[in-house]
Amino acid sequence: MKKGKCFVLILLTLALTGAPPLPPVLATSYKPVIYFGVIPRYNPIIMYRSYQPMMDYLSANTPYRFELKLSRDYHLAVEFLQNGTTPIASLGPVTFSEAYRKFGAIPIVAPLSARGVPYYHSIIVVLEDSPITSLEELKGKSFAFGDHHSTSGKLIPHHMLAQKGIQLSDLESYSYYESHDATAKAVLKGNAVAGAVKDVVAYRYREHGLRFLAVSDPIPAVPIVVRKEEDPHLVAAMKEALLAIDPSDPRTKQHLIQWDPEFAHGFVSVDIDDYRDIIELTYNNKTGCGLGCH
């Protein structure tokens, strides 16, 4: 039997028997490949485990086959997007600000939180049994920041400390870590008295012995962005597929359990106006970390 007829027969059999749909790797094997870029939020093993279900969903619900493309650092993720290696990327607000300023990147959708809102927080954490109860007490102590291009790991905590009169020179020492996981572990291991991580990571590590010292004001949700010259058919297909996700549907909710927690609650359309404030803060911050800092 010819390959094409065999494939059709399999589909008809599945439809008649009520069997589950074909795995995405079979159903999408003849689709053009699209590399989806992601900044290094966690270690690579966690990244692949957390993001691959979303790639499978996009592959099954668009005319394209999506593959994850990790970057060793935040800057490379922006570079991949700029040169077209990754036509689409999930960036943080700061890395998006950089991409917007450099080559006019466009935000198209952003994830909703578990509370159904399109924003998240930076959380400064300490050990559960730490005697420190306020940000002011961090003066003269060691601090763990995230990557230099991280919004919740660097930009926002810099701002939070500066608002309490604490500059970097007031800290005993400070270090920058390549992922939020590494920052959290630095505090747990005693390599830093306090550290800043994004909320989903803070909640994950709280049960391992971290306590929340301070929570930032809302930060606009991490945008999924494209180059301004990207194929509009690709952009429309991906946007339609993500906006169609209904986390309240019981069947959908079961699948979303496998997704990264930050992307498991549906999506909302966004545009550049949603990120004006963070772009301004990134480039004109008067409280310690602005233009040239990132």
> By three-state DSSP, how is residue 251 classified?
helix
The C-alpha angle 89, 201, 43, rounded to 5 degrees, equals: 60
- The CATH code of domain 11-118+220-282 reads 3.40.190.10
Strand-strand pairing, 88-90 and 224-226:
antiparallel
- Nearest CA to 41 among 221, 198, 266? 198
In angstroms, the Cα distances linking 24 to 37, 56, 62, 294 are 19, 6, 11, 38
- Contact present, 206 and 212 (Cβ < 8 Å): yes
Q: For the residues 116-131, what does the mean pLDDT come to?
A: 96
CA pair distance 180, 163, nearest whole angstrom: 23
Residue 124 has pLDDT above 80, yes or no: yes
Residue 22 has pLDDT above 80, yes or no: no
The predicted structure's pLDDT at residue 285: 61
Direct distance between the N- and C-terminal alpha carbons of the chain, in angstroms, rounded to an integer: 59
CA pair distance 176, 168, nearest whole angstrom: 12
The predicted structure's pLDDT at residue 221: 93
Q: For the residues 4-10, what does the mean pLDDT come to?
A: 45
In angstroms, the Cα distances linking 190 to 69, 193, 257 are 33, 6, 32
Residue that the structure tokens 């005319």 belong to: 63
The domain 122-217 is placed in CATH, from the list 2.30.180.10, 3.40.50.2300, 3.40.50.970, 3.40.190.10, at 3.40.190.10
- Helices first, then strands: H and E counts in the chain: 11, 13
- Contact present, 68 and 39 (Cβ < 8 Å): no
- Nearest CA to 108 among 294, 222, 270? 270
For the question of whether the overall pTM of this predicted structure is more than 0.85, the answer is no
pLDDT band at 286 (very low <50, low <70, confident <90, very high): low
Residue type, 101: R
The predicted structure's pLDDT at residue 134: 97
Query: For the chain, what is the mean pLDDT?
Result: 87
Tell me whether domains 11-118+220-282 and 122-217 share a fold.
Answer: yes
Residue 292 has pLDDT above 60, yes or no: no
Domain ranges of the chain: 11-118+220-282, 122-217
